[in-house]
Amino acid sequence: MAVNTDKNSYTILFAIAMVVIVGSLLAFTASSLKPQIKENERMEKQQNILYALGVNENEGTGDIVFVSTKEVADKFSTNVSEQLVLESKDGKIISKMTRQEFIDSKDEGKGKEPYLIDVKKQQARAKKGESRFLPLFVGQQDGKTVYIAPIRGKGLWDAIWGFVALDENMVVKGTFFDHAAETPGLGSNIKQRYFMDDFYGERLLTEAGVFKGIAVAKGNNDPKNERKEDHAVDALAGATITGDGISAMIRKDLKLYMPFFQNLNIKTN
């Protein structure tokens, strides 16, 4: 090809053409795949909530196995009986979606369900001093009611988040943690089952009913995690900052749900 590729005008034209071609190609890919990606993320959220509730296919594996994407919609509507939105200041319920309403809303209410509330956006609202909406999901585990709350915080490289299932006394009944970009083999192990399982039975409140949280502790000296009253689980080797991030998001985000649980216990007593 006899083109003088050293000319400035050619360079500029080439750059412009490249930007236009690559830009439109990327824009086209992104917008045409967006609905599919959104749908995947929505199903993943349902799978995560169900996982924290204890609805999964872990049996017989040492790994985390979600309910399949085919079944997830059905299982979500049978197992999650209510989706609540709380007000962050006093824990009052400001909206409630029952199972039936959720099933009926499937066609037109897309995007409005409490489980699709973006915790990141709500945290940003709280920072600006506005009131924050707290989503909470009610389900049943072994015949008892458990409440599942989403939490979100910072790991070493990027965001970490999770779902924690609590009973009415704020004892942990299941967790699910995930991360955007923690180091493979180190911080990313928060997504391993042995780490999540450690939280089962841990308490968020002290005997006196004061909120204390659960620390991911290095000097815990309890590798099998038999002590459930120590407000600590064993840390992961080489993942101190990710572990601290888990402790921090449990302390900060779950504390906001305290008023709701207090109201709950006043009602039942």
Partner 1 sequence: MGLLSKKDAKLITDPLADNNPITIQVLGICSALAITADLKASLVMGVAVLFVMGVGNVVISLMRNIIPSKIRIIVQLIVVASLVIIVDQVLKAYAFELSKTLSVFIGLIITNCIIMGRFEAFALANGPYRSFLDGIGNALGYAVILVIVGIFRELLGAGTLMGYPVLGDPIEKTGVFSIGYENNGFMLMPPMALIIVGLIIWVQRSRNKDLIED
Tell whether residue 26 is a contact of partner 1 (CB under 8 A): yes
Q: Exactly one of 79, 82, 162, 182 binds partner 1 (CB under 8 A); which one?
A: 182
Determine the Cα–Cα distance for residues 256 and 210; give it in Å rounded to an integer. Answer: 13
78 vs 183, beta carbon nearer partner 1: 183
Q: Return the closest-CA partner of residue 152 out of 256, 69, 237, 260.
A: 256
Site string for partner 1, 63-102 (x = CB under 8 A): x---------------------------------------
| Cα distances (Å, whole numbers) of residue 83 to 66, 116, 137, 224 | 21, 10, 5, 34
Determine the Cα–Cα distance for residues 63 and 233; give it in Å rounded to an integer. Answer: 19
Q: Computed over its alpha carbons, how large is the radius of gyration of the chain?
A: 22
10 vs 255, beta carbon nearer partner 1: 10
Q: Return the closest-CA partner of residue 215 out of 233, 242, 202.
A: 233
15 vs 103, beta carbon nearer partner 1: 15
DSSP three-state, residue 154 = strand
Tell whether residue 184 is a contact of partner 1 (CB under 8 A): yes
Tell whether residue 181 is a contact of partner 1 (CB under 8 A): yes
Determine the Cα–Cα distance for residues 61 and 58; give it in Å rounded to an integer. Answer: 6
Determine the Cα–Cα distance for residues 213 and 222; give it in Å rounded to an integer. Answer: 17
Pairing outcome for strands 159-166 and 144-154: antiparallel
62 vs 129, beta carbon nearer partner 1: 62
CB of 148 to partner 1, least distance (A): 21
Tell whether residue 27 is a contact of partner 1 (CB under 8 A): no
CB of 82 to partner 1, least distance (A): 28
| Cα distances (Å, whole numbers) of residue 40 to 37, 230, 259, 269 | 5, 38, 34, 42
58 vs 78, beta carbon nearer partner 1: 58
Tell whether residue 3 is a contact of partner 1 (CB under 8 A): yes
Tell whether residue 188 is a contact of partner 1 (CB under 8 A): yes
Tell whether residue 186 is a contact of partner 1 (CB under 8 A): yes
Determine the Cα–Cα distance for residues 260 and 267; give it in Å rounded to an integer. Answer: 11
Tell whether residue 15 is a contact of partner 1 (CB under 8 A): yes
CB of 174 to partner 1, least distance (A): 20
Question: Which residues contribute to the site for partner 1 (CB under 8 A)?
Answer: 1, 3, 5-6, 10-11, 14-15, 18, 22, 25-26, 29-30, 33, 36-37, 40, 44, 62-63, 157, 180-186, 188, 223-224, 237-238
